[in-house]
Amino acid sequence: MTMYAILETNNNPSETIRSVLKNMLSEKLVDVVLVPFKTEYSSLPMPTLIADPEKMLQAQPLAPAAPFNAARQAASVLRYPTGKKVAVVLRTCEIRALIELAKLKQCVLDEAILIGFDCMGRIENDSYLEMAAQEEDITTSFYADSSMQDRITGICKACEYFQPYGADLTICLLGMPVMEKIGLMAGTEAGENIIKSLGLSTVEQPEGREVAANSLLQKRTEARDKLFSETSEKIKDIEKFQKTIANCLNCYNCRNACPVCYCKECVFLTDVFAHEPEVLQRRAAKRGAVKLPADTTMFHMTRLAHMSHACVGCGQCSSVCPSSIPVADIFRTVSAKVQELYNYVPGRDISESIPYLVFEEESSNGK
Amino acid sequence: MSDEFEPKIIALVCNWCTYTAADLAGTSRLAYSANVRIIRLMCTGMIDPKYILKALLDGADGVFIGGCHPGDCHYINGNLKAKKRISGISKIVEQFGFDPERLRLRWIGASEGPEFQRNMNEFFESIKALGSTPVRDRMIL
Ligand code: SF4
Ligand code: SF4
Ligand code: FES
């Protein structure tokens, strides 16, 4: 039976989670917690590593904002085992990306406690800041008033992976009267131990989660399919694709923001693409004209070739694009086909190999 | 010269098998399409996706990849790595309007000169039937 505890929220679910995290620290169940945190300087919560339980007051574990996909920050804390227990509170797309990074040996999850929550999506940074200027506690309003949930990004609306995979603990919001109570569900033995050590009384998992999950899944899947068909239309031939990315500046923000663009050094920053003047002149001569910076199309397609199996659809690449290119729409759409080909869901299961690392022996001629 | 479509075909072939087969085809005077430009690599396993993407974006009408039969790769499984990688690239480029038929992977052993000739001619014919690449005469950003 899944171990499940009910937590009263008294109209403030963030506070409830804060006190759980705080207790985990003060009871020394974990040594540090990585969690979104509102600094004294801005409303936008930043991933922050907390050691002092008192600091937990500023944590925003459920804030509907994510200035970036924090998988990378989590991976930097978990780069190698340190003998300390590290809890990380992450959105589903962040946990999935973190699992992909673990497969690439860029972090080790053995000492990590992964805490996820049913993700209702995130709001873009600028809108979030605007809203934060109007009201003190956006997080509570966001869960209290479902119309606010319409303000999440388009890519979040199309995300069917809102339930955490592989988390030690899941903060259950689906099907719960969030302003009264939420659930804390263990997904692993480590998670169970935490629930036990915190002395939380466990109950049978309440019904309603599955129903709520299914109806959200249906809504999200419909939005996803619409996104796929509209995006396919925008890229379906090279002319359309060129129009879609025509304003790209080769700033590589999208690549920087991407949690699963895993290369330590991007080839686009190496000499391979630092062309000699003669090369550019020759290309201009050959094709009549060459747009600079060159290799914009090459950049996007190479990035796809490298990481499309692992795209978690977090949307950060679109969020950071200065030219409003629907990068995430394109990457999710194209990646979906690649992932379907390999029957691979990034971050689904840490024991599942990266498709490019498994090659079957077969005899047919090349096909 | 007539206006007839002359496809540009790039063949990326491994040193140990398919290139040797091409060499054998040559010394055996087995003629094949002159539109094929061969690039020799040590192994298909070292084919970076960029090689294929660059060829396609620079106007190649077709890209042929030839390696050793499974089990014969001189680097154990480079050919199987290539196969896996190419299946993904093919899925990607297809969505941007490149017919996946423009990419072809075949295993041709060192002694298979006639096989090399046949493959080149077949690929040439199929590219000819597909027509010119969508990137010809178009600025690629
Ligand atoms: S490509 Fe974009 S949507 Fe996909 S994982 Fe990277 S940043 Fe997220
Ligand atoms: S962030 Fe936008 S402009 Fe910058 S490289 Fe990516 S797509 Fe191009
Ligand atoms: S050496 Fe021929 S495919 Fe590897």
Number of domains in chain A: 2
Domain with A257 in it: 237-357
d(CA B22, CA B106): 13
d(CA B11, CA B19): 10
**Looking at the domain assignment, is residue A365 inside a domain?**
no
Q: Are residues A193 and A297 in the same domain?
A: no
Are A301 and B105 an interchain contact pair (Cβ–Cβ within 8 Å)? no
**Looking at the domain assignment, is residue B2 inside a domain?**
no
Q: Are A171 and A148 in contact (CB under 8 A)?
A: no
pLDDT, tens only, A28-72? 999 999 999 999 999 999 999 999 999 999 999 999 999 989 999
Domain with B122 in it: 9-138
First to last CA, chain B: 31
**Looking at the domain assignment, is residue A11 inside a domain?**
yes
* B64 vs A contacts (CB less than 8 Å): none
Quick one: average pLDDT of A219-246? 97
**Looking at the domain assignment, is residue B116 inside a domain?**
yes
**Looking at the domain assignment, is residue A264 inside a domain?**
yes
User: What local confidence, expressed as pLDDT, does residue A59 receive?
Assistant: 96
From the number of C-beta atoms within 10 Å of its C-beta (0-12, 13-18, 19+), residue B121 rates as middle
Task: Enter the ipTM.
Answer: 0.95
**Is residue A323 lining ligand 2, measured as CB closer than 6 Å?**
yes
Number of domains in chain B: 1
Q: Are residues A196 and A250 in the same domain?
A: no
pLDDT, tens only, A92-124? 999 999 999 999 999 999 989 999 999 999 999
B63's tokens: 């890209």
* Band of residue B74 on the pLDDT scale cut at 50, 70, 90: very high
Are A242 and B138 an interchain contact pair (Cβ–Cβ within 8 Å)? yes
**Looking at the domain assignment, is residue B81 inside a domain?**
yes
Q: A361 vs A200, which has greater pLDDT?
A: A200
End position of a domain, from candidates A223, A255, A272: A223
What predicted TM-score, i.e. pTM, was given to this entire model? 0.95
**Looking at the domain assignment, is residue B1 inside a domain?**
no
End position of a domain, from candidates A161, A188, A223: A223
d(CA A352, CA A190): 21
Please determine, for residue A164, whether its predicted confidence score (pLDDT) is greater than 60: yes
CA of A353 to the centre of ligand 3 (A): 24
Which residues, in sequence order, are bridge partners of residue B63? B10, B103
Please determine, for residue A75, whether its predicted confidence score (pLDDT) is greater than 60: yes
**Looking at the domain assignment, is residue A230 inside a domain?**
no
Q: Residue A238 is nearest to which of B84, B106, B135, comparing CB atoms? A: B135
User: What local confidence, expressed as pLDDT, does residue A237 receive?
Assistant: 95
